[in-house]
């Protein structure tokens, strides 16, 4: 089965491109501190220097090496999105399974809270929560988790509802297994592939969200190098030095597109339907 899926991935050039670009991004993010000749906040040259042998992509408004900042710029975004989405997936799986398995009041309460959350636009939620709790990385992670958890709860609950009436769950109940054991042994293995796809889908959306927040001044604070922040810093000079905006935009979009291509390709190869409903929630 895995061998067959592997073959299907190899046969799909689009998926292979996605995987290659994604791998490159991850490698750069992981190795950036060793790849870059300058410190990310080091004022290495004069402001707005053109590309040269010393500064391959020139320098930014303060004279920092732009290549260095570009290579470092994905690290914090990716980590924040990763942590936030991970929390959303774990919490979403827990509450989604709990809602489906317990039913009744617990289900009602969880699902009405989810409905409430869905009714509030994400950007509004973030715009209130971040200034309210203070602009810091932990708050940012929790806010990301909150934005995505509702969608995960819904999809997990929907799948779990189809698992609950099956014989193997009834058999576990008749054995007298505890609720926790039923969730972990009977439900979790059956929702695991859904969770993986959810994780990948939410990841690309979360990366965009973190970058937008940084652009709006609600996300990562200067002087940390970050693509969203770099776009926002460069946007005032778009007529004279458009590269300040173009480079980080290319970096961000290639990462997101590569992530989406990989998710879709891998999920299709594994035969998971989840990939077909790539939705925000």
Under rule CB under 8 A, how many of the chain's residues touch another protein?
A: 21
- Pick between residue 104 and residue 121 the one whose CB is nearest to another protein: 104
- Pick between residue 136 and residue 162 the one whose CB is nearest to another protein: 162
- Pick between residue 93 and residue 209 the one whose CB is nearest to another protein: 93
Query: Do residues 97 and 182 make contact, with C-beta atoms less than 8 angstroms apart?
Result: no
- Pick between residue 134 and residue 176 the one whose CB is nearest to another protein: 176
DSSP 24-35: HHHHHHHHHHHH
Instruction: Give residues 104-123 in contact with another protein (rule: CB under 8 A).
Output: 104-105, 107-108
**What is the rounded (10 degree) CA torsion for 213, 215, 216, 217?**
90
Instruction: Give residues 238-257 in contact with another protein (rule: CB under 8 A).
Output: none
- 226 vs 77: CA distance, rounded Å: 7
Of 104, 274, 69, 77, give the one whose Cα is nearest residue 191: 274
Query: Do residues 81 and 207 make contact, with C-beta atoms less than 8 angstroms apart?
Result: yes
Instruction: Give residues 162-191 in contact with another protein (rule: CB under 8 A).
Output: 166-168, 170-171, 173-177, 185-186, 189-190
Of 275, 257, 273, give the one whose Cα is nearest residue 265: 275
Q: How far is the CB of 105 from another protein (least distance, A)?
A: 6
- Pick between residue 49 and residue 107 the one whose CB is nearest to another protein: 107
Q: How far is the CB of 166 from another protein (least distance, A)?
A: 4
Query: Do residues 247 and 57 make contact, with C-beta atoms less than 8 angstroms apart?
Result: yes
DSSP state of 186: I
Q: Tell me: does residue 192 bind another protein (CB under 8 A).
A: yes
- 210 vs 135: CA distance, rounded Å: 12
- Pick between residue 2 and residue 124 the one whose CB is nearest to another protein: 2
Q: How far is the CB of 100 from another protein (least distance, A)?
A: 14
Residues that bind another protein (CB under 8 A): 4, 103-105, 107-108, 166-168, 170-171, 173-177, 185-186, 189-190, 192
């Amino acid at each position: 089965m895995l061998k067959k899926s592997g073959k299907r991935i190899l046969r799909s050039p689009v998926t292979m491109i996605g995987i290659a670009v994604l791998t490159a991004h991850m490698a750069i993010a992981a190795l950036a501190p060793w790849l870059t000749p300058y410190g990310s906040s080091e004022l290495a040259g004069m402001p707005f220097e053109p590309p040269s042998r010393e500064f391959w992509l020139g320098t930014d408004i303060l004279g920092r090496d732009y290549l260095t900042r570009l290579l470092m710029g994905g690290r914090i975004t990716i980590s924040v999105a990763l942590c936030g989405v991970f929390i959303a997936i774990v919490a979403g799986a827990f509450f989604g399974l709990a809602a489906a398995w317990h039913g009744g009041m617990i289900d009602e309460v969880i699902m009405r809270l989810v409905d409430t959350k869905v009714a509030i636009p994400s950007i509004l939620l973030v715009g209130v929560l971040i200034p309210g709790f203070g602009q810091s990385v932990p708050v940012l992670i929790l806010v990301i988790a909150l934005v995505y958890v509702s969608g995960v709860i819904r999809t997990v609950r929907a799948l779990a509802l189809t698992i609950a009436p099956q014989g193997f769950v009834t058999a576990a109940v008749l054995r007298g297994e505890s609720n926790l054991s039923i969730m972990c042994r009977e439900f979790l293995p059956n929702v695991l592939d859904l969770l993986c796809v959810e994780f990948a889908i939410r990841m690309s959306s979360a990366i965009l969200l973190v970058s937008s927040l940084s652009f709006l001044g609600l996300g990562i604070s200067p002087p940390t190098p970050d693509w969203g922040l770099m776009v926002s810093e460069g946007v005032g000079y778009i007529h004279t030095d458009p590269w300040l905006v173009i480079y980080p935009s290319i970096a961000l979009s290639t990462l997101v597109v590569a992530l989406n291509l990989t998710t879709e390709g891998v999920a299709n190869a594994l035969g998971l339907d989840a990939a077909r409903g790539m939705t925000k929630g």
